Structure 1
Amino acid sequence: MSAPIDDFFAVIPAGGIGSRLWPLSRAESPKFLHDLTGSGASLLRATWDRLLPLAGRENIGVVTGRAHGDKVEESLPDIVAENVFIEQDQRDSAAAICLAAAILRGRNPDAIIGSFAADHVIGRQRVFEFTVRQAVAAAREGYIATIGIQPSEPAVGFGYIKTGEELVIDDAPLAALVERFVEKPDLATARSYFADRSYLWNAGMFISRADVLLKELAANEPELHDGLVEIADAWDTGDRDEVVARVWPGLKKIAIDYAVAEPAADKGLLAVIPGQFDWDDVGDFASLWNLIAPGRHDTVTVIGDNENVLDDAASGLVVSQTDRVVAMIGVENVIVVDTPDALLVTTPEHAQRVKGAVSSLHDRGRDSVL
């Protein structure tokens, strides 16, 4: 399983600020540039390392914003320069992924592309590789493939995929059709999904022939498709800057789930491969605490300098980025994030609401701390 797949190109969308991880994650230093797990590598670098055996160095690209291009290349010194695709500004995942697909189709009409977020944490590498190779096999048969994660709990923070009829595809023994996508459920619904076992977490990984992906985009969002193709046709020429400046601001902001995946599922063109590997999207500080201290929530877990944290009859997560002493006494299940210009105090139950605080700060003109 160690040989890269010849016609496979891995695309890493690296955008967004990870607002639920504020104030650790900021616009200039989003979460994918941080080492959140103590591995010694940023999440982006860990994603690159994970994809290297599948695609090889020359077939991994990153789609990112202008503010992060230099930091991406610093984090990934082995990346081929022409495989760093810079967006003028964010236009959501359909534009990011399908721009890469259109560029790569121009370079290789037979390319199969896979999209893998820069900020996910994945364990059991060999199982991950086996799953991706099944998705590539499904893509060769003309399907758009996605990877769904077998739930380990009735989570309310993820969207779900309802699996349908099994498919018969050589080299993809676990492939099935996607019956439908469902949005993030309430707890009672999540419990019913967890008991059902035919529901998988939607991890946002998509694998497809580039031409198939673009054909589906053209059918559902023709103006977005035409704009991206115009940009892609000029990408490797001297006209790139002029065309991007003219076309990009008018592109529709829409997620690839809505622009491509859900319509493809309705047509019977979307396959899903269940992923049995460990997966986390580190969506908030509660999931980060669970990730780095699973089953150990009766003590204080520290990210940063342990010498700065004092605790007595306390439990929680402390992210320490200053020389300030943080003392936790007689409190339970508390999350403290201490940075030079902002302090966050919350609980796991309310960790998802951090995004609302970021919105409020933006409305108040406090962008300097965002």
Structure 2
Amino acid sequence: MSRFYPVIPAGGSGTRLWPLSRQSSPKFLHRLGADERSLMQLTLARLGPLSPPEQTYVVCGPAHKMAIAEQIPSVPPRNLVVEPAGRNSGPAIALAAAIIHARDPEAVMGSFAADHLISVGDAFRAAVRTGIEVAATGRLVTIGVPPRYAETGYGYIEIGDELGIGAALAVRSFKEKPDLVTAQEYVEDGRHLWNAGMFVGRTADLLEDVRHHAPQIYERVQRVAESWHTDNAAAREILTEVWQDMPSISIDHAIVEQVAAQGRVATVPARMGWSDMGDWDTVAELGLAEGSRLAQPRDTLLLDSPGSFATSGTGRAVTVVGVPDVVVVETDTCILVVKRSEAQRVKDAVEAWKERGRDDLL
């Protein structure tokens, strides 16, 4: 694994986990699991047996750089790649690939979000190791999750034939977030996996795909990478310059869909207890099924409220009586009460407060 370089994209503010997750303190900086560490710290620890912190890179925004550096001090400052502004995942991952490739032209990189929860670390690492082996054949490899239920909030991977390398399978196509009926069909047909948003590939292959399918991104990240390891201050100045007109596009739309159409994408299924912690309904389900996944006060009280979940960010007691299937979140400035079935609409509440000029709540 000496040439494996993990990349941890740490962007966004996690509006569906508002009011815990804010612009200044997104969800990956919070403890959302049974462990005392934040999601970011758990992500780094999970990757430790695969690659040392010195080979790990984090792509983040300027508002979170200091907090990230404090939480994961073992990652060298030069490995914190600070985007001047958010441009979606395409430029962020391409930039990391270019920087790593300039350091090690034989590198294999993996991209793993900072804000996911994985409870079976050994299964995760086994899948990544298989992915590294498959990547050596020139494929881009995703980590897929066998679906546990019909989820409309995730993308899906349609699988094909076995590749003869561990559990790796060919990818036929990627599916956008489906409606409920379609999602149920995906679960039942056994030919679809949840797309966990993780991938592994050789930097040389990845950059060649970026050069071919997204040349505007390629040219800009190459300019930054050329001096990143020799004159880092100059490289960061170039980064500020080229990011002004950098296209904003996801890595899926920039290259992955095109590479899949060429038959060069593979997937490794992994039963690793994965969750993207995407909304309060997901958090509540994990908490109810597996024990508390949030730092709740001992005197949080739920009476005759089946399926409900409550937490406090201040230590004040939260009591729910006779109200099933709700989530109550209390912080020092906000209180959220939401039906679990309406959890996806929390982001609408964030937009509504924004329209009212309440930036202090965002």
- How would you bin the TM-score normalised by the shorter chain? over 0.9
1: distance between equivalents of 2:303 and 2:196?
A: 38
Cα distance, 1:98 vs structure 2: 1.0
Cα distance, 1:325 vs structure 2: 4.2
Does residue 223 (structure 1) correspond to residue 219 (structure 2)? The answer is no
1: distance between equivalents of 2:129 and 2:56?
A: 16
**Contact 1:234 1:243 (8 Å CA) reproduced:** no
**Residue type matched to 1:91 in 2?**
R
Identity of aligned residues (%): 40
Q: TM-score, normalised by structure 1?
A: 0.93
Match runs of 1:20-169 below 5 Å: 20-168=16-164
- Counterpart pick for 1:360 among 336, 352, 361: 352
* Unmatched segments (≥5 aa) in structure 2: none
Query: Which residue of structure 2 lines up, in the alignment, with residue 13 of structure 1?
Result: 9
**Contact 2:224 2:236 (8 Å CA) reproduced:** no
The 3-state SS of whatever aligns with 1:16 is coil
Distance 1:163 1:340, change over 3 A: same
**Contact 1:301 1:318 (8 Å CA) reproduced:** no
CA deviation string 1:36-88 (max 9, x = no partner):
11310000000001000011232111111111111111111211222111111
Query: Which residue of structure 2 lines up, in the alignment, with residue 235 of structure 1?
Result: 228
Cα distance, 1:301 vs structure 2: 9.1
Cα distance, 1:358 vs structure 2: 1.2
The 3-state SS of whatever aligns with 1:109 is coil
Q: TM-score, normalised by structure 2?
A: 0.95
Distance 1:301 1:109, change over 3 A: closer
* Unmatched segments (≥5 aa) in structure 1: none
The 3-state SS of whatever aligns with 1:39 is coil
Distance 1:38 1:173, change over 3 A: closer
**Contact 2:7 2:112 (8 Å CA) reproduced:** yes
Query: Which residue of structure 1 lines up, in the alignment, with residue 285 of structure 2?
Result: 290
- Counterpart pick for 1:347 among 319, 339, 354: 339
Query: Which residue of structure 1 lines up, in the alignment, with residue 325 of structure 2?
Result: 333
2: distance between equivalents of 1:27 and 1:68?
A: 9
2: distance between equivalents of 1:179 and 1:112?
A: 23
Cα distance, 1:101 vs structure 2: 0.4
CA deviation string 1:154-179 (max 9, x = no partner):
111110000112223xxx22212211
Query: Which residue of structure 2 lines up, in the alignment, with residue 312 of structure 1?
Result: 303
Distance 1:334 1:303, change over 3 A: farther
2: distance between equivalents of 1:351 and 1:209?
A: 38
For this pair of structures, how many residues does the alignment match?
A: 359
**Contact 1:14 1:62 (8 Å CA) reproduced:** yes
Distance 1:302 1:52, change over 3 A: closer
CA deviation string 1:221-272 (max 9, x = no partner):
1111111111222323142233122111211111111111111100111111
The 3-state SS of whatever aligns with 1:202 is strand
Cα distance, 1:116 vs structure 2: 0.4
**Contact 2:87 2:248 (8 Å CA) reproduced:** yes
Query: Which residue of structure 2 lines up, in the alignment, with residue 278 of structure 1?
Result: 273
**Contact 1:301 1:317 (8 Å CA) reproduced:** no
1: distance between equivalents of 2:240 and 2:49?
A: 36
Query: Which residue of structure 2 lines up, in the alignment, with residue 192 of structure 1?
Result: 185
The 3-state SS of whatever aligns with 2:152 is coil
